[in-house]
Amino acid sequence: MVRSMTGYGRAEEEFGGARVEVEIRSVNHRYCEVVVRVPKFLAALEPQVRTLIQDRASRGKISVSISWDGDGGTLGELRLNGDVAERYMKLFDELKTRYGLAGDVDLSLFVGLPDLLRWESPDVDETEAWKFVERISARAVEDLNEMKQREGRALEVDLRRRIGFVDTALTRIRGRAAQQVAAAREKLRQRISLLVDPGEVDPGRLEQEVAILADRIDITEECVRLDSHNRQFIALLEGPELAGRKLNFILQEMNREANTMGSKAADVEIVNEVIAIKEEIEKIREQVQNVE
C-alpha cells in the first residue's frame, strides 16, 4: 500500500458547552515522531493522545494540537486573586504613610500588577474528558489518513510509470547483452591479428580468453535480479501493508544491480541504458521518501 506521509486532518465537537478542536499535521520523517500540544488542564492526557496517534501511523513527523473553545488551552474563569490584592493595597497604604505620598492607585495600573488576576482551569473529569478526546482525535486521524491515501494514490501512479521505464530499459539491455559477447570476441580477434600472424594463434587459448572475457562482461544475473526487484516493488505497491521502508530497501538493491551492470558492461549502448536506469532509480527514491 502506498500512503503519503504528508497530510492534514481536523475534527471539531462540543463537550460540556465548550468547543473542542483537534488538528493534526504530518510531514516526512524517517521515523514516527509525534508532538502533542494540549491545554494545561488536560496535560495528563498527552501520553494517551501520543499513543493513539502512534498506533495509527508508522512514519512521519506528526504535530497534534487540541484546543478547548478554540483558544489553545486558556479556557477557564478569570478570577481576582483576593489575597494578593489585599497585600498590594496594604503595601500601598504603608508606602503612603511611611513616605508621606499622596494620590490614589489607578485601576488600569492595579489590574496590571503581577499575579492579581488568574485563570482557573475548568473542572473537567479526566476519565470523561479522555473518552471524548479519544473519539475526536480518532476522527481527526481518520481525516488525516484519507488525505494521505489520496496523496498515496497519486504517488503510486508515478512510481508505476517509473518502474515501467526501468523495465523497458532492462529489456533493451537484455537484447544487447547477447550481442556484446560476440562483439567482444570479434574485437579480441582483431587485436590479436594486429600483433601476431593468424597462424601463430592457438585456437584453444583464444577460446579460453574469449570465455574469460565473456564471463567478465556477462550481466545475466544482474538483469534477472533487477527484474525480480522490479516485480517486488510493484507487489509492495499493491499489497495491504504500508510499504515505505521496504520500498527504500528494494531501491538500494536495484541501485546495486545497476552499478554492477554498468561496471561489467562492454557495450556503449548498455552503459547508456544503465545510466538512464540509475537516474530513474534516483527519481523513484526521491518519491519514496514521501511514502509512509
* 98 part of a folded domain: yes
- Give yes or no: residues 70 and 188 share one domain: no
Domain containing 41 — which CATH number? 3.30.230
SS3 59: coil
What average pLDDT does the chain have?
Answer: 87
Residue 87: give the domain boundaries.
Answer: 78-120
Return the higher-pLDDT residue of 119 and 87.
Answer: 87
Kindly state the DSSP code that residue 6 receives in the 8-state scheme: -
* 105 part of a folded domain: yes
What is the C-alpha to C-alpha distance for residues 37 and 15, in angstroms, rounded to an integer?
18
pLDDT of residue 73: 44
Q: CA–CA distance from 149 to each of 3, 139, 153 (Å)?
A: 5, 15, 6
pLDDT at 71 over 60: no
* 2 part of a folded domain: no
The predicted-structure confidence for 158-172, as pLDDT tens digits, reads as follows 999 999 999 999 999
- Give yes or no: residues 90 and 189 share one domain: no
* 201 part of a folded domain: yes
Return the higher-pLDDT residue of 282 and 192.
Answer: 282
Q: CA–CA distance from 72 to each of 66, 75, 134 (Å)?
A: 7, 8, 18
Residues in CB range of 62: below 8 A, 6 or more apart: 24, 25, 26, 32, 33, 34, 35, 53
SS3 75: coil
Kindly state the DSSP code that residue 103 receives in the 8-state scheme: -
Helix (H) or strand (E) holding 15: strand 7-15
pLDDT at 74 over 50: no
Give me the number of domains the chain comprises.
3
Grid cell locating 273: 541504458
* 1 part of a folded domain: no
